[in-house]
Every structure is written in C-alpha cells, then in structure tokens.
Amino acid sequence: MAALSLEVRAKSFPAVGTAPEKRVLENVRLSVEPGERLAIIGPSGCGKTTLLNIAAGLDRDFEGRLVRDRSARLAYVFQEPRLLPWRTVADNLRFVLFDDDPTEVDARITAVLAEVGLEGTQAVFASRLSLGMARRAALARAFVVRPDLLLLDEPFVSLDEPTAQHLRLLLLELLERHRTTVLFVTHALHEAIMLADRLLFLTASPARVLAVREVPLGAAERRDPLAVEACRNRLLAEEAELARLLLPASAAAPSPLAEVAPG
Ligand SMILES: Nc1ncnc2c1ncn2[C@@H]1O[C@H](COP(=O)(O)OP(=O)(O)OP(=O)(O)O)[C@@H](O)[C@H]1O
Ligand SMILES: [Mg+2]
C-alpha cells in the first residue's frame, strides 16, 4: 500500500470581497510509496503549499480523495520555520513530544540537535536564532518525532546558497539514514534532483501534473554538484515543456533579438 495517495480533482479558494473565486489545483494525482522521496516542482504561486496542506490533512476543503495510514507519524516542515519565538529550542521540540516517555525526551532532543548541527542550543530562545539555525531547528523538530512520512515545503528558501547547500547535504544524510518517506516541495530543480527519487512537475496556476520523471542518480552523484547540474541540463534539454516551465523565457527559447544579425 502507498504511504500516501492523493487525488485532487479540484481545489478552489472562495471569492473574498472583490477578489473572485480562485481555482488552484485541477486533476492532480500523486502517490508516494513507503521509503520513496517524491519532489513536487512548480512555478511560484502555482499551488504547491496548498497541495501539501491537503496531503497533510490540514485542508479538507477540496474535491477528491486522500488516503493515508492514520497510524503513521507525520511531520511537516512548513515554508516558514514557525518556531515559538518565546520558547527555547528544547521547548520547541518538547512541544511535539507531548505523549512520549518523559524520561527519554531530553536525550532524544540532545541527539537530534546534534544531528542537525545545533548542539548546545537547548536553552537558546528561538527568537535569537538566525534563519539558517531556525531552519535547522525546524528540521530537528520534524525528525525528533521519528516520522513515517515527512512533508517539506521549500525548507531552504531564502538562505544564502552555501548555507542552503550545506543543509541539503545534511537533510540527504538524515533521509538516507532514517529511510524516511518524503513528499517535498520546491521550485528549484537542482534541489529536487539532489534529494528526490521521483519528480512531479506542476504547471502554472491552476496547477495540473505536467510530467513525472525518475531521478537516475546514485547516492554519491547526488552529492556531486556537477552530476546534479548535468542531470538538470539533460532533463531541460530533452523536454521543451519542462524548460518552458522552469527557465526564464530568454533561456528557454532563442530570443528573437539574438537572431538579428548585427549590421
Ligand atoms: N487561504 C487562501 N485564500 C485565498 N487564496 C489563497 C489562499 N492560500 C493560497 N491562495 C492562493 O492560491 C494560489 C496558490 O498558493 P500556494 O501558496 O499554494 O502556492 P505556492 O506554489 O506554494 O507558492 P510559492 O511558490 O510562492 O510558495 C496563490 O494564488 C495564492 O494567492
Ligand atoms: Mg508555497
């Protein structure tokens, strides 16, 4: 049985004031097998977060069907870290461990903070963390529940590239070690290739499934930026529709200006 299977025939947000009703998703079907890592890639504003909220069961107002094992532990890393700023790092993690054995909670928190490179920050208030540290803490909060299914919404957006790459490598390590089933959203194709087994491309709004592709890279190649870049370029060169979706217009098609011979 799939870890998650979802069919959204239609999802709209109702009209508010002068803003008309907005159709966001149309005929989006996906399923994630146990242990699989599926990335959803789509342009800005196409409906990725909406789709993830539906997959999480947070938004039930859609036409379609969500099938998920109710006993599976779910963790959701939101697009913003969403820590409680007035609580310490340890308390932010303790908050999601309310029904776990209190005698082992502290040890688990210490271990997971070490895994994400935040050792010794238990007593630091979340409001004092840099964005990179807050994103690490959000990852720690997700992994500390030992999730069967992990949902991630652009977990590295608005970080500088070296920090983002460092955290991608860290996440890859954690995912491989824990063999976590993942549904993961990004607008960056290289990030998806690095982290996912399978890529699902969404069109611009209202989002439909444009294509589904396997990632043919092994564990070592995923860690090699040149191999990831080559895979990305191959995909975009072979598939004009994906290039149109993901590249700026000037890069996807020869610019008419480029064809004007000088003189
Ligand atoms: N609660 C809401 N009410 C009305 N419209 C909404 C609501 N949430 C999202 N939308 C609209 O639905 C569309 C899809 O939003 P969503 O946040 O799912 O896109 P996204 O692909 O995650 O965007 P981004 O790439 O910026 O994260 C957008 O046009 C957004 O304005
Ligand atoms: Mg979003």
Is domain 1-13+20-72+148-251 classified as CATH 3.40.5.10? no
Distances (CA, A) of 175 to 7, 45, 107, 146: 26, 27, 21, 11
Domain ranges of the chain: 1-13+20-72+148-251, 85-146
pLDDT beneath 50, residues of the chain: 254-263
pLDDT, tens digit, 9 for 90 and up, residues 197-248: 999 999 998 999 999 999 999 999 999 999 999 999 999 988 888 888 877 6
The gap from C-alpha 17 to its chain's centroid, in whole angstroms, comes to 32
User: Which ligand has its closest atom nearest to the C-alpha of 14?
Assistant: 1
In short, whether 187's Cβ falls inside 6 Å of ligand 1 is yes
Tokens of 136: 């690490």
Pick the residue whose CA is nearest to atom 10 on ligand 1.
13
Rounded to whole angstroms, the Cα distance separating 94 from 100 reads 9
Pick the residue whose CA is nearest to atom 6 on ligand 1.
13
In short, whether 50's Cβ falls inside 6 Å of ligand 1 is yes
Q: What is the pLDDT of residue 157?
A: 86
